[in-house]
Amino acid sequence: MIQVDVRRKMGDFTLQAAFNSPPGGITALFGRSGAGKTALINLLAGLDRPDEGRIVVDGVVLFDSDAGIDLPPEQRRLGYVFQEGRLFPHMSVRRNLAYGMKGKDGAADFDRIVALLDIGALLDRTPRALSGGEKQRVAIGRALLASPRLVLMDEPLAALDMGLKAEILPYIERLRDELAIPIVYVSHAMEEIVRLADTLVIMSDGKVAAVGPVDELMSRLDLRPLTGRYEAGAVLTVTVEGHDLNRAVTSLSFAGMTMLVPHADIPVGEELRIRVRARDVSLALTAPTDISILNIFPGRVMEISDRKDGQMDVIVDVGAKIWARVTRLAVTRLALVPGMEIHALVKAVAIDRQSFGRRIKPR
Partner 1 sequence: MDWLTPLEIEALGLSLRVAVVGVLCSLPFGLAAAWLLARRDFPGKSLVDGIIHLPLVVPPVVVGYLLLVALGRRGPIGGWLYDSFGVTIAFTWKGAAIAAAVMAFPLMVRAMRLSLESVDRRLEAAARTLGAGRARVFATITLPLMAPGILAGVVLAFARALGEFGATITFVSNIPGETRTLPIALYALTQTPDGEAAAARLAVISVMLALAAIIASEWIARRMARRLEGGT
How big is the site for partner 1, counted in residues (CB under 8 A)? Answer: 29
- Tell which residue, 343, 347, 322, has the closest CA to residue 261: 347
User: Would you count residue 24 as binding partner 1 (CB under 8 A)?
Assistant: no
State the alpha helices, DSSP H only, in 249-340. 328-334
Q: In angstroms, what is the minimal distance from the CB of 75 to partner 1? A: 8
Residues 77-116 that bind partner 1 (CB under 8 A): 77-80, 82, 84, 86, 88-90, 99-100, 102
332 CB-near residues (< 8 Å, 6+ apart): none
Residues 30, 186: Cα–Cα separation, whole Å: 6
CA gap 97, 88 in Å, rounded: 10
In DSSP notation, 233-289 reads EEEEEEEEEEEETTTTEEEEEETTEEEEEE-----TT-EEEEEEEGGGEEEESS---
85 Rama sector, left if φ>0, alpha if ψ -120 to 50, beta otherwise: left
Residue 343 touching partner 1 (CB under 8 A): no
Phi, psi of 261 (to 5 degrees): -135, 165
Residues 224-263 that bind partner 1 (CB under 8 A): none
Q: Is 13 in the site for partner 1 (CB under 8 A)?
A: no
- Choosing from 47, 221, 284, 349, the residue that interacts with partner 1 (CB under 8 A) is 47
Q: Is 156 in the site for partner 1 (CB under 8 A)?
A: no
The answer to whether 159 contacts partner 1 (rule: CB under 8 A) is no
Nearer to partner 1, 29 or 78 (CB): 78
Minimum CB separation of residue 100 from partner 1 in Å reads 3
State the nearest-atom distance from the C-beta of 82 to partner 1, in Å.
6
- Using the rule CB under 8 A, is 73 a contact of partner 1? yes
Q: How far is the CB of 48 from partner 1 (least distance, A)?
A: 10
Closest CA to 71 of 80, 62, 79: 62
220 binds partner 1 (CB under 8 A): no
If the CB atoms of residues 127 and 182 are measured against partner 1, the closer one turns out to be 127
Distance CA 319, CA 256 (A): 7
Binding track over 26-45 against partner 1, x by CB under 8 A: -------------------x
**Residue 80 beta carbon to partner 1: minimum distance, rounded to whole angstroms:** 4
Query: CA nearest 280: which of 266, 261, 254, 300?
Result: 261
User: Is residue 240 within 8 Å of residue 268, measured between CB atoms?
Assistant: yes
Q: Which residues bind partner 1 (CB under 8 A)?
A: 45-47, 72-80, 82, 84, 86, 88-90, 99-100, 102, 125-129, 142-143, 146
